């Protein structure tokens, strides 16, 4: 169900409130440009600074506006198991197709703690659960063995792997097989990830280059050599943009790029701040290189 280019949706703000008008436009922008799935209320959607009401609204609007055209994987993770369960139950009631659940940050649970956290969420929903493993932000790394234990549960469906380690992909396929959905969280590795057996991405870059990202995903899994070459060219043209969007903390750079492309403004919530002028220049160069601007 979950494959190809899934966008980690930004949450546009206006005067420190959710900019619903531009948020709805963004959702339709993705549907029109071939995005394969929508991921609202994740880290790129500034979930740490959304109120509970805003978090729920972001998910509800996304589900309603997409109208079943493409899957919605709602971000429902928390470092509180009770809160993650509550957010997951809400997403299920709202009509989400799946949930993305980040490993508990700050608490630093053991592998057994990670297992029990996800098992508790699993036991309280019927939705497919995608584990979000991002050690750079959460300071913990879920082992392949723990994922294998979790995959025995009925609702654990796959992983968004943001370890940046392609060997982890190989190890996971070897241990869990191809039924376990493997999506990368690293835009710069998307092409190589698919070549080695992955099935897609949850992407930041797709916010501003949905067609290029969806085309690259589609072509990269083709058995036609010409298609693979086309995918490689798209990937090469996007690499400077992938890098530029992470010069400063996500999602400040991608919000600036979205402003340049007229998608929404670049308002962001503290403790994140707007990007520096030097970063703006690098993003502008990358947008031009990818032919997204003149």
Q: Is 160 a catalytic residue?
A: yes
Q: Please report whether residue 177 resides in a domain.
A: yes
Determine the pLDDT at residue 265: 96
* Residues 160, 202: Cα–Cα separation, whole Å: 7
pTM of the model: 0.97
Q: Please report whether residue 248 resides in a domain.
A: no
Burial of 123 (0-12, 13-18, 19+ CB in 10 A): exposed
pLDDT band for position 268 (cuts 50, 70, 90): very high
Domain count for the chain, please give it.
Answer: 1
Q: Please report whether residue 264 resides in a domain.
A: no
Q: Please report whether residue 25 resides in a domain.
A: yes
Q: Please report whether residue 176 resides in a domain.
A: yes
Find the catalytic residue in 23, 118, 132, 256.
132
Q: Please report whether residue 160 resides in a domain.
A: yes
Residue 294 has pLDDT above 90, yes or no: no
* Residues 272, 268: Cα–Cα separation, whole Å: 7
Q: Is 223 a catalytic residue?
A: no
Q: Please report whether residue 259 resides in a domain.
A: no
Determine the pLDDT at residue 198: 97
Q: Are strands 37-39 and 4-8 parallel, antiparallel or unpaired?
A: parallel
> Among all chains, which residue has been given the structure tokens 């492309």?
261
Percent of the chain with pLDDT over 90: 99
Residue 104 has pLDDT above 90, yes or no: yes
CATH number of the domain encompassing residue 73:
3.20.20.70
CA 184 to chain centre: 9
Find the catalytic residue in 3, 57, 160, 255.
160
Q: Which domain covers residue 211, as residue numbers? A: 4-234
Average pLDDT, the chain: 97
pLDDT, tens digit (0-9, with 9 covering 90-100), for 155-181: 999 999 999 999 999 999 999 999 999
């Amino acid at each position: 169900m979950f494959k190809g280019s899934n966008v980690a949706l930004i949450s546009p703000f206006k005067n420190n409130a959710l900019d619903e008008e531009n948020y709805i436009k963004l959702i339709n922008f993705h549907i029109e440009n071939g995005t394969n799935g929508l991921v609202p209320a994740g880290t790129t959607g500034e979930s740490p600074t959304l109120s509970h009401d805003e978090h729920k609204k972001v998910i509800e609007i996304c589900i309603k506006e997409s109208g079943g055209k493409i899957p919605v994987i709602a971000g429902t993770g928390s470092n509180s198991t009770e809160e993650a369960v509550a957010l997951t139950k809400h997403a299920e009631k709202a009509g989400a197709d799946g949930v993305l659940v980040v490993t508990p940050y700050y608490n630093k649970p053991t592998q057994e703690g990670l297992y029990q956290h996800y098992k508790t969420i699993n036991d309280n929903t019927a939705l497919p659960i995608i584990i979000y493993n991002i050690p750079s932000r959460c300071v913990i790394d879920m082992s392949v063995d723990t994922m294998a234990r979790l995959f025995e549960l009925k609702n654990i469906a796959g992983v968004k792997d943001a370890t940046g380690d392609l060997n982890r992909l190989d190890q996971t396929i070897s241990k869990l097989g191809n039924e376990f959905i493997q999506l990368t969280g690293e835009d710069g590795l998307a092409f190589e990830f698919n070549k080695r057996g992955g099935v897609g991405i949850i992407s930041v870059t797709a916010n501003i280059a949905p067609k290029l990202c969806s085309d690259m995903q589609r072509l990269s899994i083709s058995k036609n050599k010409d298609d693979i070459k086309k995918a490689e060219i798209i990937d090469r043209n996007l690499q400077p943009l992938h890098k530029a969007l992470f010069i400063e903390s996500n999602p400040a750079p991608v919000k600036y790029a979205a402003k340049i492309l007229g998608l929404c403004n670049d308002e962001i919530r503290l403790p994140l701040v707007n990007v520096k002028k030097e970063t703006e220049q690098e993003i502008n160069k990358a947008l031009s290189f990818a032919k997204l601007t003149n």
